[in-house]
Structures are given as structure tokens and as C-alpha cells.
Structure 1
Amino acid sequence: MTPAARASRPLVWAGAAVFAVAVVLVLLTVVRPSAASTAGSGATEAAPAESSADVGFARDMSVHHQQAVEMAFLIRDRTTDASVRRLAYDIINTQANQRGMMLGWLESWGRPKSSDRPRMEWMGHPVTASDGSLMPGMATDTELDELRAAKGREAEVLFLRLMTVHHRAGAEMARAAAGSAVTDEIRHLAAGMARAQESEISLMADMLEERGATP
């Protein structure tokens, strides 16, 4: 290698290094979102406020669902009727799964799963508990004791009546959340929940009629 070639080699390396740095900077500019873009996406993904319908609904409906699952387990063990037991299993599986989703969202939003805020405050009409019934539609402690003591057709009719009232109130809450929530998760879940519970209300009316009872 000539002295001139040896002298020019550092300049070639330096030029290559500069080119490599330039390529990296271009790639970073293309791949990384701008600060404004990052800030904008953060704003759209912010957790709903503590006082929002999303948080209030997720908390309240989790409690509402918990009692529905409890009543479904009670009737499952107090009847041999296939249609009633099938309905009970559907309620257990569906509402336990939905409850888990709502509690998971509360955790992901950094919101506590329980609160001292009045139930249904997010709907504009806070309520207080009465005989263990924390919200409209929920069975009282007295009614749950009656269900525990009943068997056969008596238990079936009582369960269907209590669950019909439970579903009516639940569907009303779900429609309110579907109309006022800010997150897609709650809006979509609540809308589907309202439709499903209204369908089961119709089913339970038919089941009550088959047993010579009214809702």
C-alpha cells in the first residue's frame, strides 16, 4: 500500500462512520413517533376519571353480577329441572366472566375495585342499601334466605322472579353505561349485556308461565 493510500484510509473510515450515524438518525426519525404524537396517543389512552360512568359501572355491575352468580349457584343445587339448571349455568359462566373483565379494567386503570362513593352515583341517583340489597334489582337478605330454604318448583319460581327483577335493573344500568361511558370496553360490554339480559328476561317469563306463575 502506498503512503498516499495509507494516509487516505482514516478519511474513508471517518466518512463511513458519518454516513452510518446519518442512517441511524434517519431510521430513528422514521420509526420513533414524534413527541406530539406520543402525547396525543397518551391522551386518548388515559384512564377514565374516578367519577366517570366507566369506573362507576364497572364497580357497581361487578357487585350486581356477584349476587346473580350466587343466586344461580343456589338454584342449581335446589332443582333437578334441566332448563332451570341450564339457565343457572349460563348466568354463572357469563356473569362471572364479565365480572372478571370489569375488575381487570379497574386494575388496569389504577382505580380501586371498591369505593366509599354511593352506589349508582355515576347514574345521577345514588342509592343506599336496604336489608342487604345494595342496588335496585338486587335481592334482599330475607329473599336470599327464602331461596336457600326452598326446593323444587317453589325454588324455581322464586329464583325466576328474583332474577327477572335483577336482570331488569341490570339492563337499565347497562343501557346507561353504554350511552355515557368514554371507553370502548365499557360501551361495548354494556350494550351487549343489556341485550343478553333482556333476552333472558323474556326466557324467564316463558319459564314462569310454564309453571303457572307470573313474574
Structure 2
Amino acid sequence: MISEVQPSASGASTDAPEAGGTRTFGYVAVATLLVGLILGLGAGLVVPGLRTPGTDSVEAGFLRDMSTHHAQAVEMAMIAHTGSDTPDIITLSADIATTQQGQIGYMQAWLRDWDLSPTGTAEPMAWIPGSDGAIVNGLMPGMATPEQMAALRSATGKNLDIQFLTLMRAHHVGGVHMAQEAMDLSDNEDVDWLAESMVTAQQGEIQLIDSLLKKAQAS
């Protein structure tokens, strides 16, 4: 008579824990997945808010101040464009006015996108650490005084060309300094891109201004 082979007690005890272990592992995996999803959803809700610059941020301060700085450059460029008889001055002033007015558009649009006011309550350049001494009579670096702007408006001929080039050179030097500070302090890719483009363009224009100024003074 052939006897049936029964599973041993030890064999039975080995199978049971394996099945339980598989189920336990499955529960842990599902729980981990759920936690990950919850954290992911939470990050999706929170991180965009963290990435949006606030009203006291470096980015907001730079965009507001540079908009004001650019506005004066546009005004000076338009004075030269309409008043100068020198083709190179007319071309340069048109380029400056067009470029900087376009950049003002970028800066104001980003402030609106961030739900921020185009102007703030902070002092000019307060977003730059240790910049207290950079403001003179309320003017940011390179900006012309009201008296200098009045003189530029009334100037004609060679005198207009020299005044415009002299004032715009100082204006560009101040603007480059501000843009470089923004590049160093900001971690916003759009702001860094715009600041870098300002530095590149204005440094190139400073070289052209030096050449035109030397020519104007020698004539």
C-alpha cells in the first residue's frame, strides 16, 4: 500500500511567513506610493508660490528700479534723436530708446504676472546690500540731475551731441552696475537673462559712445 506523502510541519511553517511577508511588503509599497503622491501634490501647490518673487525680493526691486532708470535713458535718447544732426548719434539714440523701452515692457509685464505693483515703497536700490551711499539726491547711479536734463533739452548742434554722449555714458555705467548686482543676487532665470542682456548691450554701447565722443570733441 502506497502511503500519501504529507507536508511536514516544518514545511507548513515555512510557507506561511512567506505569504505574510509578501502581503506586508505590498502594504508598505502602497503606503510609500501614497505618501509620495501626497508630498508631490503638496510640492506642486507650494513650490510655484515659493518661486514667485515677493514685493520685497531682489527681483521685484531690480525690475522697479531699472524701469525707472531705463525711462530716463529713453527720454535722453529721444531728445538726441530728434535734436541731433549727426547720423551716428541719431542711429545710436534710436537703438537705445527702442531697446530700453522694450526691456521696460518685459519688466513691467513680469511684475504684473507676479501680482506686484509696478512701484514699491522701498528706497531705490534697497535690494542691494550695502547700497545706502549709492543714492545721491534720490538718484540711482548714472542718472542725470533735473538740471542736466534741462540743459540737454535746450542744447543744439555739437553741444547737444557731447552732452548726450557724456550723460548716456554715465547712465550706462550705472545701469551695468545695477544689472551685474541683479545677476549676482537673483536666482530667477528670466531676471538673470534680462540683466545679462543689459550688461552685454550697454557695455558694447559704451565703447561706441567713447568713439563718438572723441570724434565730437575733436571736430
TM range (shorter): 0.7 to 0.9
- 1:91 corresponds to: 96
2:173 matched to 1:171?
no
Counterpart pick for 1:105 among 100, 106, 110 = 110
Q: Which blocks of at least 5 consecutive residues in structure 1 are unaligned?
A: 1-33
Paired residue secondary structure (1:95): helix
Distance 1:147 1:68 in 2: 12
Matched letter for residue 138 of structure 1: M
Q: How does 1:119-130 map to 2 (within 5 A)?
A: 119-124=124-129, 125-126=131-132, 128=135, 130=137
Normalising by the residue count of structure 1, what TM-score does the alignment of the two structures yield? Answer: 0.78
Partner secondary structure for residue 147 of structure 2: helix
Q: Is the aligned partner of 1:45 residue 2:48?
A: yes
- Aligned CA RMSD, in angstroms, stands at 1.8
Q: Deviations over 1:124-164 (max 9, x none)?
A: 2145562xx62111000000011011011110000000000
Partners of 2:171 and 2:76 lie apart in 1 by: 10
| Residue 200 (structure 1) aligned with residue 196 (structure 2) | no
**Corresponding residue number in structure 1 for 2:216:** 211
Q: How many residues align?
A: 179
| Identical aligned residues as a percent | 34
CA separation of 1:50/1:211 partners in 2, compared to 1, >3 Å: closer, same or farther?
Answer: same
Q: Cα–Cα, structure 1 residues 184 and 208, in superposed 2: closer, same or farther, change >3 Å?
A: same
1:80 and 2:85 are equivalent in the alignment:
yes
Equivalent residue letter for 1:37? G
In the superposition, the TM-score normalised over structure 2's length comes to: 0.77
Taking the aligned partners of 1:195 and 1:98, their CA distance within structure 2 comes to: 14
Q: Which entry has the higher C-alpha Rg, 1 or 2?
A: 2
Report the CA distance shift for 1:204/1:48 in structure 2 as closer, same or farther (over 3 A).
same
Correspondence for 2:120 among 107, 115, 123: 115
- Would the alpha carbon gap of residues 205 and 104 (structure 1) be closer, same or farther in structure 2, given more than 3 Å must change? same
For 1:169 and 1:196, locate their aligned partners in 2 and report how far apart those are by CA, in whole Å: 13
- The yes-or-no answer on 1:189 pairing with 2:189 is no
Q: Counterpart in 2 of 1:4?
A: none
